[in-house]
Every structure is written in structure tokens, then in C-alpha cells.
Amino acid sequence: MSAQSSKRGKFIAFEGGEACGKSTQSKLLADLLDAVLTREPGGTVIGSHLRELALSPETVGLVPRAEALIMAADRAQHVAELVEPALAAGRHVVTDRFAGSSIAYQGYGRGLPVNEIRDLSLWATAGVWPDLIVLLDVGAEEADRRLGTERDRMESESAAFHAEVQAGFRAQALGEPERWVVVDGTGTVDEVANAVRNIVAERLQLSL
Ligand code: TMP
């Protein structure tokens, strides 16, 4: 076995509400770490079909439990096909959303039992979980301002729903401070990227 493959990679997830800058920051961090960059839902070909199903405004009448199962199916495929093989081969993986989003959106947002949503994700991933979760916090008003008028199924939800989601992310970060870190997402792209780099280097003991 080569030195590269003998050490498991680090798994880092970005989480946050709509338009918080996760996609930009995920890419910047993945470039910095030479990591595999991926996202949920939709990190695999099968997942891209599930993403379309879950987020299309044409999907009408999807019940919360079915929505939770679609997200869990996407995650199961994503971990088995892409995340776990990359980590096992010694690559770092940066994902734009993971189980924290299910807990925030389907748990806190839709009102499904948070512990059950967490257990569903643990089952879907066979226990694969991020080493570090970065919550990019921008606040509901700023997110609303950043979102255009063309919104997908989830972005079109009410302000009250998005407030619950935001509370759900903050509660997770508070409840598990050793795994989560909250970064203020309201600065410039460079300011946020610097904050993310410093915290990732410190928490995962990487020289960046
Ligand atoms: P985004 O990746 O472009 O932000 O969009 C993904 C959308 O899917 C976003 O509205 C959050 C939602 N989502 C869930 O509701 N549950 C989940 O488990 C995941 C991964 C995403």
C-alpha cells in the first residue's frame, strides 16, 4: 500500500441556509486541500435525478417523509459511490451539504423527529460522518436578499420555514461544538475563505 493510500482522508461538510455562499467556499477549500469536491443532493448521476425530483417546482404534493427518504437515498448513493472510496484512498473530501441539511430542513423545517432523521442518515451512510462541519451563517434577511426571484421548490418555502431551518443549523452547531464550527458568511468571499482556512487548519491540524 502506498503512503498516500494508507492514511484516510478528512471529510469536511459545508452547511447553511439558502444563498449562504457554501458553493463558492466549498470550491475554494477543495482547491486549497486538493480535495474531491462534491455536493448533496446530486453528487452522483443517480443523485442528480433525485435532486431534480426533490427540488423541481413541478414536484407537487411531496410529503415530508418521502422528501426525507429521497435525501437519504441520495446520501446513501453518494457515500457508497463517491465519498467513502475517496476517503479510503486517502483523498480529502469537501461536500456542499450533508446530513446536517436533512436534520435542519426535514427535521426542524418540516417538523419530522430530529433523532429519526439523524438515524436515517446514519443508516444511509453506514455511519460515515464528516470530521468537520462548517456552518456558514448569513441570517435570513441577507439570504432572502441574495436569492433572486427564480426560486426552486425549497427556496420558495415561507420565511417561517427558513427561520426554522436556520434555527436547526444553529442548534446542531451548539449541540456538537467539537464537530461543528460557525463562520460568519456575511463578509467578502476572501474574508470568509480566510476564516474557513484558519479554522480548518486548526481543527484538522493541517498546514494550509
Ligand atoms: P443547494 O445545494 O443548491 O443549496 O440546494 C439544495 C436544496 O436541498 C436546499 O434547499 C436544501 C435542500 N436539502 C434538504 O432539504 N435536505 C437535505 O438533506 C439536503 C442535502 C438538501
* Structural domains present in the chain: 11-204 (3.40.50.300)
pLDDT in tens, 178-196: 999 999 999 999 999 999 9
Instruction: Starting at the earlier edge strand, list the strands of the sheet with 11-15.
Output: 36-39, 93-96, 11-15, 132-137, 180-184
CA 154 – ligand 1 centroid, Å? 8
Query: How far does residue 41's CA lie from ligand 1's centre (Å)?
Result: 6
In the predicted model, what is the mean pLDDT of residues 58-86? 98
Residue 19 Cα: closest atom of ligand 1: 4
DSSP state of 79: I
pLDDT tens by residue, 101-157: 999 999 999 999 999 999 999 999 999 999 999 999 998 788 888 888 889 999 999
* Residue keyed to cell 426554522: 164
CA of 155, closest atom in ligand 1: 10
Query: The whole model's pTM is what?
Result: 0.95
